């Protein structure tokens, strides 16, 4: 098994986080339409566990208001 440095491990984790974020942002356009800049920035500030929780909640969203309510509840 090849040795993986801490820098390589962090880069791999960061890549997974970016991929998760990109997927969630793409999926959000279905119920919410094009995201406003401030809403997209709020999503980008989420931690990985929050991004994962948001991904699970997307299926319950019917509009941009649902996303805004989720962000308000999850970020405070």
Cα–Cα nearest to 31, from 7, 6, 2, 59: 59
pLDDT at 52: 92
Confidence grade of residue 2 (pLDDT, cut at 50, 70, 90): confident
Q: Give the model confidence (pLDDT) of 7-59 as tens digits.
A: 666 666 677 788 889 999 999 999 999 999 999 999 999 998 999 999 999 99
Interatomic CA distance for residues 73 and 11, integer angstroms? 30
Interatomic CA distance for residues 61 and 76, integer angstroms? 19
Domain ranges of the chain: 6-74
pLDDT at 76: 63
pLDDT at 7: 64
Q: Which two tokens stand for residue 41?
A: 């920035």
**What pTM was computed for the model?**
0.78
């Amino acid at each position: 098994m090849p040795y993986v440095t801490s820098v390589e491990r962090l880069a791999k984790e960061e890549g997974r986080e970016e991929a998760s974020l990109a997927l969630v942002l793409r999926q959000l356009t279905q119920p919410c339409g094009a995201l406003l800049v401030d809403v997209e920035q709020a999503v980008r500030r989420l931690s990985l566990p929050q991004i994962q929780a948001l991904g699970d909640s997307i299926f319950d969203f019917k509009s941009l208001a649902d996303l805004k309510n989720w962000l308000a509840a999850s970020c405070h």
